[in-house]
Amino acid sequence: MFKLLVTAALAAVGICQYSVPSNSTNSTAPATFSNPIVGAGADPWMFRHDDYYYLTYSNNVNVMLYRSKSMTDWEHAESKLVFAPPPGLNYSTDLWAPEIHNINGNWWVIFTADPLNDSPPPEIEMWCEYNCPAVHHRMFVAVGKGDDPWEAKYQFKAELDTYDQFAIDGTYFQHKNQLYHIYSCWHRQYDGWPANLCITKLSNPWTVDSPFSERQIISVPEYPWEKTPFGRASNDRLSSNEGPQQLTNPTTGQQFLIYSAARSDNRNYCLAQLELVGDDPMNPGDWRKHPYPVFYQNPSESAYGVGHASFTTSPDGTEDWIIYHGMQDPTNGWSARSIRAQKFGWKEDGTPDFPKPGYGPYEVPSGQ
């Protein structure tokens, strides 16, 4: 509110610093916004459909959907419970990283969950190198039928087969009419850290088509910035590749997989990039990994632990935006995460050109 008044005052004396874009659809809407756009939350998934932005993110207990006409104002958003699991099942607790994809006319909710808050019994725990929670995390799918993600009735569909092995942060990846599941996985069932990126083929949004022998690992934490703690030379426990997201260059059609590296509870969490340079996503050699993170902490603005992104566009479709979580106080771990939005561009070689993470104020998305 203070910033609005200042802008109005400056405009009145003719030295306006921010101007409302001339093609804005609402001349009384604020010209700028500041991060975070949601004060507490992680693993944001945002998409635009008709006149609304839709947002969901991890809350551990269920899948909530929010909608707003503004990409950057969620204080006045409507909310709706999409899916709440019954107790006592394999997907009753720790619901993480929900995403809602429109595939063949229906809305597919893909999410991570586990039974009993991630507590493996001792006979399983003892196989771990040190202490490995998360052995029971798996991927699940719910579906909402119909054109409208808000009116659709959602119900549980199935577990997405990951061969009874650790799986989190799964997403759909589409290439040449083939649907894939890309998720964070271990090498083995019980002692498998680090967390890598795995890919399998799907015959539909809830059915895996690949036998275990065809599952491929397309990225492992290999660079110092992907390891936890930073640069750790041995024992990859807790080093992670996770949160994969498909990103397509709208001009060149180049396909990227933007993923999160290091670990989500500390300042080094960052975004990294694989580019599909061949034609077969199931062939690890067809992916080219960028040797440095593409979006990472910015201490000069106290923006730490930035990662787990999704991508959307401005209301008029002219701008690409990244929605991600980050921390202002990196010593507070997972509870410090909040949700942010920033515009990004594209480099001459067609790769995404992400900004430095910060708090703004930034110009609102074009057309908002």
Ligand X SMILES: *[C@@H]1O[C@H](CO)[C@@H](O)[C@H](O)[C@H]1NC(C)=O
Query: Whole-number minimum distance, CB 57 to ligand X, in Å?
Result: 23
Using CB under 6 A, which of 29, 103, 128, 158 touches ligand X? 29
DSSP string, 120-183: --HHHHTTSSS--TTTT-EEEEEEEESS-TTTPEEEEEEEEP-TTS-EEEEEEEEETTEEEEEE
Question: Hey, is 350 helix, strand or coil?
Answer: coil
Nearer to ligand X, 90 or 328 (CB): 90
Give the closest residue to 54 by CA, choosing from 122, 127, 132, 150: 150
Nearer to ligand X, 27 or 300 (CB): 27
Distance separating the N- and C-terminal Cα atoms of the chain = 17
Q: How many CB atoms lie within 10 A of CB 292?
A: 10
Interacting stretch for ligand X, rule CB under 6 A, among 20-28, 44-52, 168-176, 296-304? 20-28
Q: Is 147 in the site for ligand X (CB under 6 A)?
A: no
Using CB under 6 A, which of 200, 219, 228, 366 touches ligand X? 366
| Token pair recorded at residue 267 | 């300042």
Nearer to ligand X, 86 or 299 (CB): 86
Q: Which residue has the tokens 């930035």?
A: 306
The set of residues, in sequence order, having a beta carbon less than 8 Å from that of 328 and lying 6+ positions away, is 302, 303, 304, 336, 338
What is the C-alpha separation between 312 and 366, in angstroms, rounded?
12
Interacting stretch for ligand X, rule CB under 6 A, among 21-29, 179-187, 249-257, 285-293? 21-29
Angle at 141 between CA 81 and CA 219, to 5 degrees: 120
Binding mask 39-78 for ligand X (x = CB under 6 A): ----------------------------------------
Binding mask 155-194 for ligand X (x = CB under 6 A): ----x----x------------------------------
User: Binders of ligand X among 72-101, rule CB under 6 A?
Assistant: 90
Query: Whole-number minimum distance, CB 75 to ligand X, in Å?
Result: 11
Nearer to ligand X, 284 or 361 (CB): 361
Query: Whole-number minimum distance, CB 162 to ligand X, in Å?
Result: 10
Give the closest residue to 171 by CA, choosing from 198, 195, 151: 198
Q: Is 28 in the site for ligand X (CB under 6 A)?
A: yes
Nearer to ligand X, 338 or 366 (CB): 366
Using CB under 6 A, which of 17, 26, 60, 117 touches ligand X? 26
Query: Whole-number minimum distance, CB 112 to ligand X, in Å?
Result: 14
| Token pair recorded at residue 4 | 């609005």
Using CB under 6 A, which of 3, 11, 16, 21 touches ligand X? 21
Nearer to ligand X, 93 or 273 (CB): 93
Nearer to ligand X, 301 or 316 (CB): 316
Query: Whole-number minimum distance, CB 352 to ligand X, in Å?
Result: 18
Q: Is 23 in the site for ligand X (CB under 6 A)?
A: yes
What is the C-alpha separation between 195 and 253, in angstroms, rounded?
29
Q: Is 251 in the site for ligand X (CB under 6 A)?
A: no
Give the closest residue to 99 by CA, choosing from 363, 323, 338: 323
Interacting stretch for ligand X, rule CB under 6 A, among 22-30, 250-258, 278-286, 300-308? 22-30
Ramachandran quadrant class, 345 (left: phi over 0; alpha: psi -120 to 50; beta: rest): beta
Q: Which residues of 41-62 are buried (b: 16+ CB within 10 A; e: fewer)?
A: bbbbbbbbeeebbbbbbbeeee
User: Binders of ligand X among 281-300, rule CB under 6 A?
Assistant: none
Where along the sequence are the contacts to ligand X (CB under 6 A)?
Answer: 21, 23, 26, 28-29, 90, 159, 164, 316, 318, 366
